[in-house]
């Protein structure tokens, strides 16, 4: 049986490693090629890199995937000499490889293999393509600068539509953009910081959806739900007979997520021994199942999340500092109470989803939307979804009014109950000044640190807010 283009190149050239870039449609033949390389050339390590494109003719999508993969490869092998074979794969991928190589963005030798019937006897079936000779056009447009902002925004917006993520608040959009950037760097583990119910799992799905491993599994683990004595077994696996009840081998979550992404929700709940083992996985890519003395190699990107203050836990000795530092990227997800602008569209989204599922046509009245905006949302987006669903179920008519909203706590408490009792030494002027400062600071937070927005929230002019800060040297 005649060798295909990849096997021909591997047979005639010397390589330590071979990477096959596979789309979902070529995954099966790529697996067969890896098996053939392993069998015929045992000294060559062959690896498949996923290119999870819904449209394999999308040049921009292909370029982004190839760039992302090469960044990871170059970081792992900074001194390597690269070759690119363009005899297999799609014409669209060939074109992208040629553009990246011709521009100098990827310093590589282009290799082309030919069928034996087109090659004179005694000559090599593989030849180098000199893309810098005068017959090839010169690429003058710089391709290593920032990509157009509109393309980035379109990619983020499309991913949000696919995943049901809603939010236009500036701070929330900033967090989404950070997640988009980090998704492209496959060798970075990400830490998501945010209150319970703020959407950390959605951010994990967003990063997985846009990253190079989108075609591989996303395994979700809630660390707080695992009994302490079973944490290591659940995460790293165990061998038969390693403890009472271990009636067979168990792979564990890391092995299940091999070549994919593992989302560790509430990582702050992990006991210290499990933290030490997790650090080893992040540093060396190895797990050691309970009851085994042999490490097992895994290739897993980890996204972790917590609602706790890990810095304080590090200071208290309940969270390892080296593990905390090992996460190269962190994203702070703002709570819903600081995203008031997002409450109406989120409520509309949840209600639309509920209507479609149950074949209803209920809607929120304007006063009901106003009540939702004024509510502090201690349970964040998760609580908003519950309130909308429960209110829609129990509302007697098609229009959901403020009286139909099912909050767990009153929307407003009596503000008089929060006032201190006057006593000897109490200074009303100082108390009022402190209240003014807190209200202005809160308005700035809600207004994205823009004085004009804060002034509108406070019923003041921008000049008055500016003068307030000047008078206090802020």
* Residue ranges of domains in the chain: 5-129, 150-334, 337-404, 427-471
Q: Identify the pLDDT of residue 423.
A: 64
What totals of helices (H) and strands (E) does the chain contain, helices first? Answer: 18, 14
Q: Identify the pLDDT of residue 324.
A: 94
Residue 219 sits at the vertex; the CA angle it makes with 165 and 184, to the nearest 5 degrees, is 60
Beta bridge partners of 303: 190, 263
pLDDT tens column, 330-345: 999 999 999 989 999 9
Element spanning 263, H or E: strand 261-265
CATH class of 5-129: alpha beta
Is 323 a residue whose pLDDT tops 90?
yes
Average pLDDT, the chain: 86
* DSSP per position, 70-94: HHHHHHH-TTPPEEEE-SSS-HHHH
pLDDT tens column, 184-229: 988 889 999 999 999 999 999 999 999 999 989 999 999 999 998 8
pLDDT tens column, 279-320: 999 999 999 888 888 889 999 999 999 999 999 999 999 999
Give dist(CA 319, CA 310) in Å, integer.
Answer: 7
Give dist(CA 448, CA 149) in Å, integer.
Answer: 21
CATH class of 150-334: alpha beta
- Report the relative pairing of strands 286-287 and 296-297 from DSSP bridges: antiparallel
Q: Identify the pLDDT of residue 143.
A: 47
Beta bridge partners of 128: 111
Is 148 a residue whose pLDDT tops 60?
no
Kindly report the pTM of this predicted structure: 0.60
pLDDT tens column, 398-420: 999 999 999 975 444 455 545 66
CATH class of 337-404: mainly alpha
Say yes or no: do domains 5-129 and 150-334 share a fold.
yes
Nearest to 232 by CA among 280, 185, 184, 194: 280
The total number of residues written for the chain in this structure: 474
- 3-class DSSP state of 438: helix
Give dist(CA 207, CA 394) in Å, integer.
Answer: 36
């Amino acid at each position: 049986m005649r060798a295909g283009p990849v096997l021909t190149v591997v047979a005639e050239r010397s390589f330590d490693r071979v990477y096959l870039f596979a789309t979902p449609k070529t995954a099966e033949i790529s697996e067969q090629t890896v098996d053939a390389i392993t069998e015929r050339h045992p000294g060559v390590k062959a690896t498949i890199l996923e290119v999870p494109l819904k449209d394999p003719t999308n040049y921009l999508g292909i370029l982004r995937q190839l760039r992302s993969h090469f960044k990871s490869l170059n970081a792992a092998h900074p001194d390597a000499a690269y070759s690119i074979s363009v005899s297999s794969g799609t014409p669209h991928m060939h074109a992208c490889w040629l553009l990246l190589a011709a521009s100098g963005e990827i310093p590589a030798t282009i290799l082309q293999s030919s069928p034996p019937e087109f090659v004179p006897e005694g000559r090599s079936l593989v030849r180098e393509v000199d893309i810098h000779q005068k017959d090839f056009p010169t690429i003058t447009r710089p391709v290593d600068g920032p990509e157009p902002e509109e393309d980035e925004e379109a990619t983020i917006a499309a991913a949000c539509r696919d995943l049901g993520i809603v939010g236009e608040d500036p701070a929330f959009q900033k967090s989404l953009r950070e997640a988009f950037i980090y998704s492209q760097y496959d060798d970075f583990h990400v830490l998501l910081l945010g209150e319970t119910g703020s959407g950390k799992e959605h951010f994990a799905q967003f990063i997985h959806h846009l990253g190079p491993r989108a075609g591989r599994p996303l395994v979700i683990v809630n660390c707080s739900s695992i009994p302490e004595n079973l944490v290591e077994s659940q995460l790293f696996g165990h061998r038969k007979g390693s403890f009472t009840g271990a009636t067979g081998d168990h792979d564990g979550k890391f092995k299940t997520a091999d070549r994919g992404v593992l989302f560790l929700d509430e990582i702050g709940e992990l006991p210290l021994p499990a933290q030490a083992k997790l650090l080893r996985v992040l540093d060396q890519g190895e797990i050691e199942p309970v009851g085994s003395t042999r490490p097992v190699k895994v290739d897993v990107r980890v996204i972790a999340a917590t609602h706790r203050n890990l810095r304080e836990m590090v200071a208290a000795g309940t969270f390892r500092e080296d593990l905390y530092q090992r996460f190269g990227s962190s994203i702070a997800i703002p709570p819903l109470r600081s995203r008031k602008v997002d409450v109406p569209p989120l409520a509309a989204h949840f209600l639309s989803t509920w209507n479609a599922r149950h074949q209803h046509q209920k809607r929120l009245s304007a006063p009901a939307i106003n009540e939702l905006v004024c509510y502090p949302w201690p349970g964040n987006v998760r609580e908003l979804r519950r309130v909308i669903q429960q209110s829609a179920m129990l509302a007697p008519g098609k229009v959901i009014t403020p009286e139909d909203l099912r909050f767990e706590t009153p929307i407003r408490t009596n503000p008089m109950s929060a006032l201190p009792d006057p006593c000897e030494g109490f200074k009303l002027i100082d108390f009022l000044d402190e209240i003014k400062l807190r209200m202005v600071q809160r308005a700035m937070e809600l207004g994205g640190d823009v004085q004009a927005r804060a002034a509108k929230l406070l019923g003041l002019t921008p000049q008055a807010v500016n003068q307030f800060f000047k008078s206090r040297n802020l």
